[in-house]
Amino acid sequence: MSSPNSGGEREKLVSKLPAHLQQALKVRAAQLQIDMQDAVTNGIQAWRNCSDDLPTVNTAGADSFGTYLPEGLYEDFKVDCRERGVSYIQGLAQSVVLWLADNPAGVQRTTRRIVVCNQKGGVGKTAVSAGLAQAFAEDPSVVGAAADAAVGGLRVLLVDYDPQGHLTHQLGLTAIPAGEESLITHMLHREQAKQPLLDLTVVISGDRFGGRLRILPAAFDAFLLDSGLTMFRGPREATLERALAPLEEHFDVIVVDSPPSLGLAMDAALNYGRQRDDEKPGSSGLVIPVEAEDTSAQAYGMLIQQIDSLSRDYDLAIEQLGLVVNKFDSRRGYIATSSLEKWKSLGSPPVLAVVPDVKEQREAVRKQRPLLDYAPDCEQAHRMRQIARGVKTA
């Protein structure tokens, strides 16, 4: 299987590995449809983050083994081996054993689908979508703060599902012009599509992401999506899933930045984020940005009505993974503070994070750079990682 990871800068790891581990790694990666280089990368990252004393692996008779790692990871790995007093061969063997244990055979890997939504405009859906995706893709080894427990290293696709295209523009890209092949083509006129949707995705630059983060840009045609769905012959609520399904094998997480709408396009997004039959609870669902003020609560109520209606009509389990209270500023007084307490008092869905209204996000947008690349240590960046941790453990 090919992987977007292969598009990032990589360097060759040359070491040795027992033949039985090489065979187990090859078979398990094939079973789970994962590139071996990604499996070894994830194993090494897990080994570097593991504070437990790991059992020694018998490496007698180890054979030559080579793969490619994200640039810089091999050197960091060798430094860790020296500090732990183990050979590179032993460290690699322990990493592979860890990966095999964390990725058992017979477990079907399901791509997590996270839909960031709220029909109210201006609550920060785009900022939360981008920040969450960046936190999932970020190299865990570069996150220094102890509070930011590693959640990254995943292959992530950002889908700009909003015809306004703010997400696309903020990352320095251009929306796909009307009439050209796009996500909308694959939703409404799949038989006319001439290229795989994966070919339309673009790698988001940033050393912290290692080629793991991609975006499917917005399409101007999306302004007509609701009317196109009205005339669509077939299950309209399944159109987004049908379009994105071929992409899922290439990504661990797909994050959808939804439009401020309660129309048919939103029905398709909600359906895409539902819990599938082979999926455990908390794997996929909705992240809902809100603000600490009254109109945001009213908009949330309308979204809940749509979720309930769609769930009843089609017998779906659509899980709210959590709320994000965005652009919070306690200096706004009683309305802000009391509204925040009301959001927290809901209990379910939980408040994943309270994101302050500070300048770094606006600066990153102006410079058309990912927030976690532009200001990785700012308060907002830490809150994005907090959201990712909350979603990961939901």
Cβ 271 vs Cβ 236: under 8 Å: no
Mean pLDDT of the chain: 87
The reported pLDDT for the residue numbered 8 is 55
The reported pLDDT for the residue numbered 122 is 82
Looking at the predicted structure, is the pLDDT value of residue 295 above 90? no
The pTM for the full model equals 0.73
385: Cα separation from own chain's centroid? 11
Q: Which residues pair with 67 in a beta bridge?
A: 13
The reported pLDDT for the residue numbered 133 is 97
Q: Label residue 7 by pLDDT band (50, 70, 90).
A: very low
Report how far apart, in Å, the C-alpha atoms of 325 and of each of 128, 130, 282 are: 10, 16, 20
205 residue type, one letter: S
The reported pLDDT for the residue numbered 149 is 52
What's the mean pLDDT in 190-204? 90
The reported pLDDT for the residue numbered 340 is 83
| Digit-coded pLDDT (tens) for 198-212 | 999 999 998 899 999
The reported pLDDT for the residue numbered 147 is 45
Closest to 268 (Cα-Cα) out of 235, 228, 304, 301? 235
Residue 150: how many other CB atoms lie within 10 Å: 18
- The Cα–Cα gap between 352 and 349 comes to 9
The more confident residue out of 9 and 267 is 267
The reported pLDDT for the residue numbered 128 is 96
What's the mean pLDDT in 179-207? 89
Burial class (CB in 10 A: 0-12, 13-18, 19+), 290: buried
Q: Label residue 146 by pLDDT band (50, 70, 90).
A: very low
The more confident residue out of 77 and 295 is 77
Looking at the predicted structure, is the pLDDT value of residue 249 above 90? no
Looking at the predicted structure, is the pLDDT value of residue 191 above 90? no
Q: Where are the beta strands (DSSP E) in the chain?
A: 10-17, 63-70, 112-116, 156-160, 202-203, 213-216, 253-257, 285-290, 320-328, 351-356
Query: Could you identify the residue written with the tokens 């209606």?
Result: 309
Cβ 15 vs Cβ 65: under 8 Å: yes
What's the mean pLDDT in 352-378? 91
Pick the CATH number of 112-392 from 3.40.50.1100, 3.40.50.2300, 2.130.10.10, 3.40.50.300: 3.40.50.300
Structure tokens at 62: 């180890």
| Digit-coded pLDDT (tens) for 49-80 | 998 889 999 888 788 899 999 988 999 999 99
The reported pLDDT for the residue numbered 5 is 42
In eight-state DSSP terms, residue 208 is T
Percentage with pLDDT > 70 across the chain = 94
378 residue type, one letter: C
What's the mean pLDDT in 37-44? 93
What's the mean pLDDT in 382-393? 88
- The Cα–Cα gap between 92 and 88 comes to 6
Q: Label residue 373 by pLDDT band (50, 70, 90).
A: very high
- The Cα–Cα gap between 83 and 30 comes to 33
Instruction: Check whether the bond before 104 is cis (ω within 30° of 0).
Output: no
| Digit-coded pLDDT (tens) for 160-174 | 999 999 999 999 999
| Digit-coded pLDDT (tens) for 112-145 | 999 999 988 888 899 999 999 999 999 887 776 5
The reported pLDDT for the residue numbered 88 is 92
150 residue type, one letter: A
